[in-house]
Structure 1
Amino acid sequence: MSGICDGRVVVVTGAGRGLGRAHALAFAAEGARLVVNDLGVGLDGTPGPDGPAARVAAEIRAAGGEAVAHGGDIATDTGAASLVTTALRTYGRLDTLVNNAGFLRDRMLVNLGEDDWDAVLRVHLKGHFLPLRHAAAHWRAETRAGRAPAARIVNTSSGAGLLGSLGQGNYSAAKAGIIGLTLVAAAEFARYGVQVNAIAPAARTRMTERAFAETMAAPADGFDAMAPENVSPLVVWLGSAASAGVTGRVFASEGGRITVMEGWRPGPSADKGARWTPSEAGGAALKLLAEAEVPGAVYGA
């Protein structure tokens, strides 16, 4: 196989199913050599009965590509370190990290338990941070040794992280945190030749099949707008050397649409030049709100 990622070594977490599997197959189709990570847990993060990472790696090899499975827990320091080590021992290099692993524990906030909060923040946010940190440490060492990498990290946020989503306070908080992590990493890692971007995908997976139940049937025109494979081309490009100069950005991807998301920017402002009284501050705030853009609605509201 050859293509836009010919010769690159790519790690994809949560690649046993859904978006991660689609990303891994798409990278392989463009010539990348893969480390396919998946812990094999259920939708809620509990242990599953099989090892989907091995199946996806076998699928890539059967198509003529190169892939190795990794079943470690990337939300642990040991598991994240072994993820990078697997790439280096197997292929001798690492070029791209795609952080994708996650699961759901949906509850309204008043019913959301501490364990459900911690579990979702752990896999989504900590599960992004630890692989990112270990990969960046390798690329820093490469830079200091005079081997400047063209390294790429693609993180996975969500519309829930941009706007919020009813019944998903834990998930929304984690996905918003991933955007902040992406911006900081892009700034800090630039000196090592590492570009860091994030996607906010909308696709039909185990995590979203209820939300997209009405789109499960095959469309009459043959284009399935909710297929996870629609998101992967952008991820592959961001993970390739062709995306040179693109970093610290968030892209929404759904069906055939790609959108550059623009985050918090200063809007209407008022400066008294002295301390406000509470009444004055309230009056100023109401006037500014009347001039400001109305924020997007929280999902499900």
Structure 2
Amino acid sequence: MTISFEGRVAIVTGAGNGLGRSHALELARRGAKVVVNDLGGARDGSGASSAASQEVVKLIEDMGGEAISHGANVANFDEVQDMVQQTMDKWGRIDILINNAGILRDKSFSKMSLDDFKLVMDVHVMGTVNCTKAVWEIMKAQNYGRIVMTTSSSGMYGNFGQSNYGAAKMAVLGLMNTLVLEGAKNNILVNALAPTAGTRMTEDLMPEEIVKAFAPEAVTAGLLTLCDEHAPNRFILCAGAGGYSSATIFETDGCFIPQGSQNPETVRELWPQITNTDNQRALTSGAQQGEKFVLKAMAYRKSLQQ
């Protein structure tokens, strides 16, 4: 089945270069009207220019598509609201939001300033929050929305020198998990992409031949499956260099320790039961963990009455 975005309107943040550019072009190629958002700053977030986003708009128009550019700084909610209003004024709806904009300020935690930590959090976390907040009520009213967060292996697993970036990229998964629950009744589906690609964010971290193998187009092929009509929900898709996988947080079944024995020595003693993965499962809400523990307590109490 061919994936099409005919009649859909998509906002792609950070779409002037790299992954965002690739996402915007392919969405347009498959029929979407695209808002090409890019502040036009350097990799560390400094500076601003509209040249890159305007070039992407021209490429889309040259292929017969429709697009507009907007230079909103995603960390500034007023600018994001202006972008959303311009989109609504032109096309009257917003179906897809790709939260892709990001910056890097890499240093070891010892050497990193709090300003560099906060700036990365502001762009990645609050930038995602701002854009999502600005389109949320529109998508609810439409009874249709597809939102993609951009996470990272640095957030899920850690990466030396990226405490700020890793914290931000894990935070957007927490945002996704709750929005999945709140958006379900209005057909708003929220997923996450964990890309590995050869872009200006990574170009000096990999040899040139490896960068070429990690072409953004490979990641975009995965991205498109997360934001079409038949998209999954609460899915973390990892993609890069032709490799595709999913990431999921599992919780073990665990054990129950009765009152009177709840001490660190008993917890340590029962570590094999706590970490046993035989009956682990992915929980779909925080409440499910509490329910599991309550059921264990009730089962223990029942066993004492028998």
Category of TM-score, reference length = shorter chain: 0.7 to 0.9
The verdict on how the C-alpha distance between 1:93 and 1:50 changes in structure 2, with shifts beyond 3 A counting, is closer
Q: Does structure 1 conserve the Cα–Cα contact (< 8 Å) formed by 2:121 and 2:165?
A: yes
Q: How much has 1:292 moved relative to structure 2?
A: 5.7
Q: Which structure 2 residues correspond to residues 137-216 of structure 1 after superposition, within 5 A?
A: 137-140=137-140, 142=141, 147-149=142-144, 151-216=145-210
1:110 equivalenced with 2:110 (yes/no): yes
Are the aligned partners of 1:99 and 1:155 in contact in 2 as well (CA < 8 Å)?
yes
Find the aligned partners of 1:292 and 1:166 in 2 and give their Cα distance.
28
Distance in 1, Cα, partners of 2:72 & 2:8: 22
CA drift of 1:32 comes to 0.6
Alpha-carbon separation, structure 1, partners of 2:48 and 2:10: 25
Compute the displacement of 1:90 (Å).
1.5
2-structure distance, mates of 1:22, 1:236: 11
SS, match of residue 138 in structure 1: helix
Q: How does 1:22-41 map to 2 (within 5 A)?
A: 22-41=22-41
Secondary structure of 1:82 counterpart: helix
1:256 and 2:251 aligned: no
- 1:3–1:31 CA contact under 8 A, matched in 2: no
Q: Percent identity?
A: 33
Contact persistence 2:39–2:50 (CA under 8 A): no
Per-residue deviation, 1:272? 2.4
Q: Which range is displaced more, 9-18 or 275-284?
A: 275-284
Q: Residues 212 and 194 of structure 1: is their aligned pair in 2 closer, same or farther, counting only changes over 3 Å?
A: same
Question: Conserved in 2, the CA contact under 8 Å of 1:35 and 1:86?
Answer: no
Quote the Cα distance in structure 1 between the aligned partners of 2:263 and 2:226: 49
Deviation at 1:9, TM superposition (A): 0.6
Look up the equivalent residue of 2:159 and give its one-letter code. S
Which SS does the other structure have where 1:160 is aligned? helix
Matched AA of 1:184: T
Q: Which runs of 5+ in 1 are unaligned?
A: 218-223, 294-301
**2:213 corresponds to:** 225
Q: Tell me the residue number matched to 1:278.
A: 264
Q: Check whether the contact 1:157–1:178 (CA below 8 A) recurs between aligned residues.
A: yes
CA shift at 1:270, angstroms?
A: 3.0
Taking the aligned partners of 1:292 and 1:227, their CA distance within structure 2 comes to: 36
C-alpha RMSD of the superposition:
2.0
SS at match of 1:242: coil
Letter paired with 1:258: Y
CA contact (8 A) 1:38 1:51 kept: no
What is the 5 A alignment of 1:6-155?
6-48=6-48, 51-140=51-140, 142=141, 147-149=142-144, 151-155=145-149
How far is 1:72 from its partner?
A: 1.1
8 Å contact kept, 1:40–1:48? yes
* 1:237 Cα deviation after fit: 2.7
Check the 8 A contact 2:252/2:274 in 1, yes or no: no
What per-residue deviation string (whole Å, max 9, x for no partner) do you get for residues 29-76 of structure 1?
Answer: 101111000001101110145531111111111121111000011111
TM-score, with normalisation over the residues of structure 1? Answer: 0.86
Counterpart Cα distance in 2 of 1:78 and 1:62: 31
In 2, Cα distance between equivalents of 1:252 and 1:137: 29
Task: Report which stretch shifted further, 72-81 or 162-171.
Answer: 72-81
The gaps in structure 2 that reach 5 residues or longer are 279-306
> What's the secondary structure of 1:110's corresponding residue?
coil
The 3-state SS of whatever aligns with 1:231 is helix
Query: 2:272 matched to 1:267?
Result: no
Q: Secondary structure at the match of 2:10?
A: strand
Which residue does the alignment assign to 2:228? Answer: 240
SS of 2:23's equivalent in the other structure is helix
